[in-house]
Structure 1
């Protein structure tokens, strides 16, 4: 999207009070929702000299877990973005929801995001380094697999594009992360946030690009077509050359990263639950009620992971349906808020990207439905 920094600024600069929620479901089956940050109306002339005190939160925002604390900084925003932006797309929740009660707001889990960021960079580096260091199998091929029809080939291409788009998923919680930063009229939060975005996505690119290139170079089309099987490729092709300790270490690091990432995405759900409660009761949630919300959501998520282990197979379909929330609607929202001159450069870029996102969403959904119809879906309930 053109002028990404200006879009981030809008989270803190809209004069009227807004609160719109847009559900998004990533390929990891975690719900994430883009929630514009609610701010108070601009100060009157008498209040121009007043200290905003870390952002002059709307009273209700001070009760919610995302905007309760404005003590974040560029470093904490960077950790949040890296942790949410890199991750094995999996449901791994047995221990996650039990620890959520300890963290009252998003800013309080900055150290969890730090651990998640370190583990994400660590396992990506270990996987591509092992793939290159152990060499390639002797009979690999880089030719595309044989397809029975042109439609099958088209569906495979569209699914591949969908995987690439869904991989960059962390920006769906970008506004929530910005809500942890202090903001004032003299020092708006978008400056720190922009530095965090720049650093984090540079690191994310440095992790994902080598992983994709090295994985394709090492295994070619021998990587299983089922979901998230590059780890299986490392174990199958290089397991006899790699110590059990190294393979076990990679698995442990991935487990830690999944638990850390779940904290960030689940905080968005908790914020919405508490927003509905505070809207009705006009008071903050008590500690015991907050515990109930979090244990309930964690239990539901864990039950879904156990009962519906085939959900990752639906990732292309779900991702295609929710893709406009991340790649199309923000462009149209920017045009509606900034109101650039029609047919100007920025107007054309955002309108073009928004329309491209909608078209791509339709194509991905059609391709996903075609693949499911052609290959079928093994709905193995309660059989992970």
Structure 2
């Protein structure tokens, strides 16, 4: 059993009861929740990452990331009920079991929060930018608003949606978001294909100084890491699936994950490869912004991105809401209920909205958060926990695969965090804030 005392539990008793009552999801719930969590803003920046990595390295990193994260996702699905009769419903719970009650939260919680909060900030930026683009194309005679205002409008939607109580209550929003992700990804690569290559397209590496080029390559690794983000909420998604000895939750969850990764592949690879083929080194960090014709279709794609990131924001925010409400109940004796939800969730939405309006650097944010949070949670933390809990035979194939994931993941984390942070600082020095 997990060695944690009641005083150290973050979730309140009421939240735990609510979680038990909500275990009624089917396998396809895990598919669209995982798709919503994974296929988001990151897919639109993949051609931009390819522009810094080039054909060979870019394809290699994409394929390697897809395979590695599918393996670590399988590990998390298996570890959800690695002790008979006990379900690790959160990444934090599994971390406590693997690393101990004191070390576990110090290792896992910061990384998971970076992923969830980072995603929410990036989705605020993405939603605002795409909403602005949609309105500019749909109403050419309207007065144009600043980008900051559009981000504020997008954020305002979440002050209402954040009051939905749990994962099951956002199932409809998540399903719509999953459908939108497949739709706008298809529009992106089909639009690039139909447009064809731009005049004088070049596949040479982007012309920058040697030092800047190195940091941009590091940032590109983080952008690809950001595209594989579902692990941070995988256990929370699996927690909604019922489980019995005859039919454990891992069977339904894995079935859903396979479906999600299939959709992931048919979204990511065409967008990355065809987008880079069409625009080469001149591609923007959001490939949809490159497309101009037909206007109605590109406007629709931008609106689809808005719908998708609305759902994605909620999928990543739900575990944070549970954590914040648990802290308010346990440590500050705040009575659970509607007032608690309004105060804590509105405060969280306001904070992520403020950061998004202040630092709307889409590509740089992807690289920074992709390296700092996504590489650990998606690439190597599951492998470390697998080695500790399952203890595969030393020098076996399983042992080597996990150590390879750890070394590759640590490198991606270090390089992309440095590159992303440096690029944010560099871009902020020439940016006029709140314009």
Alpha-carbon distance between aligned partners in 1 of 2:207 and 2:341, rounded to the nearest angstrom = 53
Alpha-carbon distance between aligned partners in 1 of 2:368 and 2:402, rounded to the nearest angstrom = 25
Is contact 1:324–1:357 with CA below 8 Å preserved after alignment?
Answer: yes
Alpha-carbon distance between aligned partners in 2 of 1:108 and 1:166, rounded to the nearest angstrom = 26
Alpha-carbon distance between aligned partners in 2 of 1:123 and 1:306, rounded to the nearest angstrom = 24
Are 1:326 and 2:403 counterparts?
no
- The 3-state SS of whatever aligns with 2:198 is coil
The one of 21, 33, 40 equivalent to 1:80 is 33
**Structure 1 residue 209: Cα displacement:** 0.8
Q: Given the superposition, is the C-alpha separation of residues 118 and 124 from structure 1 closer, same or farther in structure 2, using an over 3 Å criterion?
A: same
Look up the match of 1:302.
Answer: 353
Alpha-carbon distance between aligned partners in 1 of 2:369 and 2:405, rounded to the nearest angstrom = 21
CA RMSD of aligned residues (A): 2.9
Q: Given the superposition, is the C-alpha separation of residues 301 and 63 from structure 1 closer, same or farther in structure 2, using an over 3 Å criterion?
A: farther
Q: Given the superposition, is the C-alpha separation of residues 101 and 339 from structure 1 closer, same or farther in structure 2, using an over 3 Å criterion?
A: same
Q: How many residues align?
A: 323
1:221-232 superposed matches below 5 A: 221-224=281-284, 227-228=285-286, 230-232=287-289
Alpha-carbon distance between aligned partners in 2 of 1:126 and 1:293, rounded to the nearest angstrom = 37
Greater shift in the superposed pair: 173-182 or 323-332: 323-332
Gaps of 5+ in 1: 1-14, 20-35, 39-57
Are 1:254 and 2:305 counterparts?
yes
Is contact 2:24–2:240 with CA below 8 Å preserved after alignment?
Answer: yes
Look up the match of 1:192.
Answer: 252
**Structure 1 residue 335: Cα displacement:** 1.2
Look up the match of 1:22.
Answer: none
Look up the match of 1:263.
Answer: 314
- The 3-state SS of whatever aligns with 1:144 is coil
1:206-355 superposed matches below 5 A: 206-224=266-284, 227-228=285-286, 230-234=287-291, 239=292, 242-280=293-331, 285-310=336-361, 313-322=364-373, 323-355=375-407
Look up the match of 1:154.
Answer: 214
1:23-81 deviations in whole A, cap 9, x for unaligned? Answer: xxxxxxxxxxxxx999xxxxxxxxxxxxxxxxxxx9555345x6651111101111101
**Structure 1 residue 124: Cα displacement:** 0.7
Q: Given the superposition, is the C-alpha separation of residues 277 and 80 from structure 1 closer, same or farther in structure 2, using an over 3 Å criterion?
A: same
Look up the match of 2:206.
Answer: 145
Is contact 1:328–1:354 with CA below 8 Å preserved after alignment?
Answer: yes
Say which structure, 1 or 2, has more relative contact order (CA 8 Å, 6+ apart): 2
**Structure 1 residue 271: Cα displacement:** 1.1
Is contact 2:219–2:367 with CA below 8 Å preserved after alignment?
Answer: yes
Alpha-carbon distance between aligned partners in 2 of 1:361 and 1:110, rounded to the nearest angstrom = 32
The one of 132, 136, 150 equivalent to 2:197 is 136
Gaps of 5+ in 2: 42-121, 128-153
Greater shift in the superposed pair: 105-114 or 135-144: 135-144
Q: Given the superposition, is the C-alpha separation of residues 376 and 280 from structure 1 closer, same or farther in structure 2, using an over 3 Å criterion?
A: closer
Q: Given the superposition, is the C-alpha separation of residues 276 and 360 from structure 1 closer, same or farther in structure 2, using an over 3 Å criterion?
A: same
Look up the match of 2:185.
Answer: 124
1:190-229 deviations in whole A, cap 9, x for unaligned? Answer: 11100000001111111111111110111111213xx32x
Q: Given the superposition, is the C-alpha separation of residues 277 and 365 from structure 1 closer, same or farther in structure 2, using an over 3 Å criterion?
A: closer
**Please, what TM-score do these two structures have when normalized by structure 2?**
0.67
**Structure 1 residue 374: Cα displacement:** 6.7
1:176-191 superposed matches below 5 A: 176-191=236-251
Is contact 2:161–2:314 with CA below 8 Å preserved after alignment?
Answer: yes
Q: Given the superposition, is the C-alpha separation of residues 365 and 85 from structure 1 closer, same or farther in structure 2, using an over 3 Å criterion?
A: closer
Is contact 1:144–1:221 with CA below 8 Å preserved after alignment?
Answer: yes
Alpha-carbon distance between aligned partners in 2 of 1:141 and 1:317, rounded to the nearest angstrom = 27
Look up the match of 1:164.
Answer: 224
1:5-84 superposed matches below 5 A: 15-16=1-2, 61-63=15-17, 68-84=21-37
Is contact 1:310–1:379 with CA below 8 Å preserved after alignment?
Answer: no
Look up the match of 2:64.
Answer: none
- The 3-state SS of whatever aligns with 2:289 is helix
Look up the match of 2:132.
Answer: none
Return the index of the structure with the highest Cα Rg. Answer: 1
Look up the match of 1:6.
Answer: none
Greater shift in the superposed pair: 374-383 or 360-369: 374-383
